[in-house]
């Protein structure tokens, strides 16, 4: 067979392969296009006088409401633990509280917006922040349209008013000082000069809300958010020059004075001047004294979280170190290392260490669910996300062990629920999910004393069935949960 014949066969084969490839490509393209259409994206085609297709957006678009969540295997269905004669009334109260919660936490800024192609409208897509009741220029407004005889734009807001310069011989302005602003001119340059001078003023006082600006020209429409926000006054902590001005050690004690005194002696062995705050709800309080020790006596048996709240409320340093009253400091209990991580990563709120080499971190997997049934929550023991950049010994997680360094102001915002009197720890991190940034670092550890054999203490330490039922009922109402799983 000749070389020319081989070349012809090769060319035919290449053409055949190309036909197959293009067939697959255009087939998938058609399927993809039909999928877009079936998803009902908020677009509509408009044919310009030039014959080209343009797109119009029906913005703003509501975010699709979440459906019921799926409880993971082994979950506890919480409604089964609500007394039947109380269920209907409890559901009504929960629904009312949930609506108020949404009113406080939802914002117009959470609406789903689409930016579509081939638009002549220029506008800021994020970062426009205004003070309440204060006129602020909207940066970046502009029109880039094809040459025409006249140009007319419309801007609309809901929670404020729009202003620009008044009409001139070259432009007409309608609605300045109102919610709808119309600017019309025969000159694109003049119109853009007026757009550059548009200001927004909110008409309601709110410390953290927003507005959506609708911007229209001919068949084109866009929307962009404005954040209405009262600036925060900074609250700063003076870190001083040493660990004692940076960290306070905090603990809660109950009927364990022997263990508490061993803990205090171990602290003083390594940190002679650091302040220690003790919350004490023992049945028969004993005096605990010493330099830089603050001992707060509570009414008897108020509980675990009530004591935590009291102790943390008295902290004046930027950070506090939480320890149990039966822990034991060692050469490996280096508070400075935890402070170093927190200072290097200011977004962190909690950094946990390890107790005798065990870090006991966990992740919390949460789906919001629908408004009626509530959410699904799974606390996964040993769950973590990824390493903390720059600190390979640390991982991000949802919760950590009872030995942690915490940012004082962040923890005070979440607080410990005093209704939880006995066994409670994960519940704090559940309440703080989405508010607290948490990490676990394995290179800082603390020891644990021998178990307490005090029968009176053990009576309170291990909850009754009624306490467990109460906790499930609390999750049902307070956390708006359908089900929960501890794994």
Using alpha carbons, list the distances in angstroms from residue 85 to 48, 95, 203, 206, 482: 65, 17, 47, 41, 18
Q: State residue 35's pLDDT score.
A: 37
The token duo for 358 is: 């065990």
Nearest to 304 by CA among 408, 187, 426, 200: 426
- Residue 76: Cβ within 10 Å count: 16
| Distance of alpha carbon 117 from alpha carbon 132, whole angstroms | 33
Tell whether domain 243-486 is in CATH 3.90.550.10: yes
Q: Given pLDDT bands bounded at 50, 70 and 90, which one contains residue 247?
A: very high
Question: Which two three-digit tokens encode residue 329?
Answer: 């400091």
Which tens digit of pLDDT belongs to each residue from 267-321? 999 999 999 999 999 999 999 999 999 999 999 999 989 999 999 999 999 999 9
Q: What residues does CATH 3.90.550.10 cover in the chain?
A: 243-486
Mean pLDDT of the region 166-191: 95
Does the structure show a pLDDT above 80 at 34? no
- Rounded-to-integer distance, Cα 59 and Cα 222, Å: 6
Model confidence at 457, pLDDT cuts 50, 70, 90, reads: confident
How confident is the model over 336-381, as pLDDT tens digits?
A: 999 999 999 999 999 999 999 999 999 999 999 999 999 999 999 9
Comparing CA positions, the residue from 354, 353, 381 lying closest to residue 365 is 381
Residues of the chain with CATH 2.60.40: 117-229
- Per DSSP, helices labelled H in 196-331 are 257-270, 304-313
407 bridge partner residues: 319
* Cβ count near 305 (within 10 Å): 21
Q: What is the mean pLDDT of residues 90-115?
A: 92
pLDDT confidence band for 246 (50 / 70 / 90): very high
Position 41 pLDDT exceeds 60: no
Strands (E), 260-384: 276-280, 293-297, 319-322, 327-328, 350-355, 362-370, 374-381
CATH topology of domain 117-229: Immunoglobulin-like (2.60.40)
What's the longest Cα–Cα distance across the chain?
A: 108
């Amino acid at each position: 067979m000749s070389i020319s014949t081989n070349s012809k066969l090769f060319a035919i084969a290449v053409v055949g392969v190309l036909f197959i490839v293009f067939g697959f490509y255009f087939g998938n393209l058609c399927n993809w296009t039909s999928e877009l259409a079936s998803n009902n994206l908020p677009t509509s085609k408009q044919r310009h006088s030039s014959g080209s297709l343009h797109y119009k957006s029906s913005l703003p678009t509501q975010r699709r409401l979440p459906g019921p969540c799926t409880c993971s295997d082994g979950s506890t269905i919480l409604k089964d633990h609500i007394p039947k004669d109380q269920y209907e009334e409890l559901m009504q109260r929960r629904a009312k509280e949930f609506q108020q919660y949404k009113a406080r936490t939802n914002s117009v800024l959470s609406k789903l917006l689409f930016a579509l192609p081939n638009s002549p409208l220029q506008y800021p897509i994020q970062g426009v922040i205004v003070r309440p009741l204060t006129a602020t220029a909207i940066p970046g407004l502009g029109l880039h349209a094809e040459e025409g005889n006249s140009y007319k734009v419309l801007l609309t807001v809901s929670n404020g008013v729009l202003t620009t310069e008044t009409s001139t011989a070259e432009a007409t302005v309608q609605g300045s000082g109102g919610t709808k602003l119309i600017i019309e001119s025969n000159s694109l340059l003049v119109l853009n000069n007026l757009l550059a001078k548009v200001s927004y003023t909110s008409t309601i006082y709110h410390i953290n809300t927003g507005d959506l600006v609708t911007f229209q020209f001919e068949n084109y429409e866009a929307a962009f958010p404005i954040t209405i926000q009262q600036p925060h006054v900074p609250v700063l902590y003076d870190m001083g020059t040493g660990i004692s001005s940076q960290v306070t050690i905090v603990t809660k004690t109950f009927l364990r004075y022997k263990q508490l005194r061993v803990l205090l002696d171990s602290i003083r062995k390594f940190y002679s001047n650091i302040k220690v705050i003790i919350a004490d709800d023992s049945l028969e309080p004993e005096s605990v004294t010493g330099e830089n020790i603050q001992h707060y006596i509570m009414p008897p048996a108020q509980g675990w979280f009530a004591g935590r709240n009291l102790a943390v409320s008295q902290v004046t340093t930027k950070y506090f170190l939480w320890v149990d009253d039966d822990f034991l400091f060692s050469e490996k209990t280096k508070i400075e290392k935890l402070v170093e991580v927190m200072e290097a990563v200011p977004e962190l709120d909690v950094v946990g260490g390890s107790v005798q080499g065990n870090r006991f971190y966990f992740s919390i997997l949460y789906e919001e669910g629908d408004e009626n049934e509530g959410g699904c929550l799974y606390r996964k023991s040993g769950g973590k996300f990824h390493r903390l950049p720059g600190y390979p010994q640390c991982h991000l997680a949802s919760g950590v062990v009872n030995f942690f360094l915490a940012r004082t102001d962040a923890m005070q915002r979440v607080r410990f629920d005093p209704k939880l009197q006995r066994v409670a720890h994960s519940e704090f991190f559940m309440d703080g999910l989405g508010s607290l940034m948490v990490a676990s670092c394995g290179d800082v550890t603390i020891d644990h004393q021998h178990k307490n054999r005090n029968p009176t203490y053990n009576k309170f330490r291990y909850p009754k069935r009624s306490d467990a039922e109460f906790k499930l009922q609390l999750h049902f109402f307070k956390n708006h949960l359908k089900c929960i799983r501890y794994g």
